[in-house]
Amino acid sequence: MKTWFQYAQNTDDLSRSGIQCRICQQYANALPSAANEASKRGMTFVTESGYVPNGHAKDSVRRKLQRHSSSLFHSEAINWMKEKHHSILARQINEMNRVAKLAQTKRDEITARVLTTVYAEVKANVPFSAHNLMVDLQIKNGLDMGSHHRHRKSATAMAESISMTMHKTLLKYIKNSKDLPISIVLDTTFDIHSNSYLMIYFRILENSNPMMFFYRFKRLAQVETGQRIYEMLIGMFTEDNILEGIKERLWGVTTDGAAVMTGNRAGLVSRLRPWAKNNFFQHHCAAHKLELSIYHAFENFPYMQHLDTSINSLYKFYMRHATKRKASLLETSEVLDKVFYELKRIYRIRWVASEVSALDVIRKSYYLLLTNLENIISTSSDFDDESKATASGLLKTLKNVRYYSLHLFLTDILKLLEFESLQFQSARGTFIGLQKRHNDLIRSLEMLKTNNGPRVIDFLNSCRCRRVVGPTADIEYRVRCHTNDLSHSDFVCPAGTDDSTQRFELKQPCSRLRRRGCSTDATDVGLYPALSEIRLVIIDSIVSQLRKYFPEDDYSIFDVLNPESLPTAETLHTVFTYSSRIIPLARRFGMQDESPVSGDSDSDSESDSRDNIRTISGQFSFLINSLVTSHKFDFCAYRSRGPVKFWSHFMEKRTVEWLPKIKKTDLGCPNTAYIICRG
């Protein structure tokens, strides 16, 4: 059966209808008009008159039908039809693939949005029970979040998947980076059910920058001991197949000061030292040591304990189960048009920044607090007698000049310590330059013995005072108050508004020499001594504790890597003498410099440099020479940007690879480069 055979009906004259090839007809229509006309006789089986013939002519048409399928034109039409069908099929397949890809991309985008939402929930500490609300929020913001993964179980599964992926990526990076120095930072904590957990972080280099990465958070099922924590660490390293890598590349361990961590006999560090290949640097968390030094500096002064108690009592009075009192304070702030700050408490041992925040909130809200406490104790208030009695005691304390001056003095001290604490808590922190910062901090504290800080200065400049203690009492308040007035004068201070009638008064506590007109009891004299009597002992106590917790020898050996101390082009002749300072640091990490270095001269001969180039100090001097001479523009540009950016920049550019490959550690990297990494 000829599938191409087709009856061509002439609707105008049925007698002129004919027979034609369906395929050739389509092919002819696709051809240009001239070729179309030439091919009509080969594809339409009719006589010249246009109708199906009879007799002899009919036999001619029959032969044309028989021979048509083998004709050249028909073959061309068949090939054209095949190409057309293949082209259509290819377009349809491409369209189907495009639609499927778009659908898959849309599904991937939706899944990615949900995963990003879960990641943000974990980072923001949002409970998974609120996951569906977070998804609804995204939808209201115009995002297509799909119809799945809205249950908290889905969020939990996604968080676990993200965590495992990040964990595997970290392990892969550690395994593939054979020469990567590693430090461990770990601590223990408790949940609300008193279950003990071990938190472990790795501090490693990524793109030559020191980075902190979370490793594990695991429950301590047994009693918390150094041996138990050591066994857990070894077990986790073995499970993740990084035991040998950690053993060979461990260069630092940071913990708190608990005996289970730092004990000489049974502490974790004493267990790790014989296990690790290198003489790693053990470090007690610097921010924690800073807080401990402050705590021990203040613990022997009763007035400091009274100050802490007063601040926490104020917090408890307004913020703990005291809705009515807090509402009263908020209402007073609206009446006075003052900013309302949430009061904070001081914890026994927390970061210095939190203590500064608690003190600063009270300082900013001082007039507001005084006004509200006076309203509470007034006869017209509807507060109970217990609240009035507590408010009266707090008001008496806040109106004490000596309390307020100690409050401001302590804030100035803690502001200096706050910056140091935040530097210690920085993930990009380093031992390099720490000793210099520590010395600068002590000098700044020493200056507060004789010079007032900015908050005390602002108080003296903005308030008026009147001497009330001593043989020469003032009748009127005067400006230009001095430090001695903090011990002998009452003060009238502006409330921080344009209204001159809004002000608060601070008075000296009563004494035997002054009883009339006292707003405080005689017992207040001993609670808060005059600032002039205690500022020296407070500063001396803080400095003593800082030097106890931060011995100079612990960190000064790292200062050789401080870029600001490196020789410059003008002092390059001292490079060999300077480079010898790296020897104590190298020895601290178990490396030995093989040749003695003479420090009697500021310059060495060329032969000395060739001899020293085989040593650690020689490698370091060669590196400094290369930085100063071959990279002087980058050296000058990055020298003042801090040690982390300075050394990261040159290590990223593979500057350390220029060091001679003569003496290497077992890790396959020049000694000086590893000292820089660990510093």
| In contact, 647 and 656? CB cutoff 8 Å | no
Q: Percentage of the chain with pLDDT > 90?
A: 32
Residue 527 backbone dihedrals phi, psi, to 5 degrees: -70, -45
Low-confidence ranges of the chain (pLDDT < 50): 41-43, 46-54, 56, 511-517, 519-523, 525, 596-611, 656-671, 673-674, 678-679
Fold classification of 184-284 is Nucleotidyltransferase; domain 5 (3.30.420)
Reading the block at residue 238, the tokens are 């073995």
| Predicted pLDDT of residue 658 | 45
Residue 529 backbone dihedrals phi, psi, to 5 degrees: -65, 165
Strand stretches in 346-387, DSSP E:
none
Measure the CA–CA gap between 388 and 395, rounded to whole angstroms: 10
Burial class (CB in 10 A: 0-12, 13-18, 19+), 313: middle
| Predicted pLDDT of residue 491 | 92
Contacts of 419 (CB under 8 A, 6+ apart): none
pLDDT in tens, 72-119: 888 888 888 888 888 888 888 877 877 777 777 778 888 888 999 999
Domain with CATH 3.30.420 in the chain: 184-284
- Helices 401-425 and 531-549: crossing angle in degrees, nearest 10, is 20
Reading the block at residue 558, the tokens are 């790292």
Contacts of 111 (CB under 8 A, 6+ apart): 146, 149
Amino acid at 5: F
Measure the CA–CA gap between 611 and 619, rounded to whole angstroms: 11
Q: Which residue has the tokens 């660490």?
A: 233
pLDDT in tens, 299-327: 889 998 899 889 999 999 998 877 899 99
Three-class DSSP category at 189: strand
Residue 383 backbone dihedrals phi, psi, to 5 degrees: -80, 155
| In contact, 579 and 621? CB cutoff 8 Å | yes
pTM over 0.95, yes/no: no
Q: Which residue has the tokens 């921080």?
A: 496
Q: How far is CA 156 from CA 103, 108, 110, 116, in A?
A: 26, 19, 17, 13
| Predicted pLDDT of residue 32 | 73
| Predicted pLDDT of residue 589 | 80
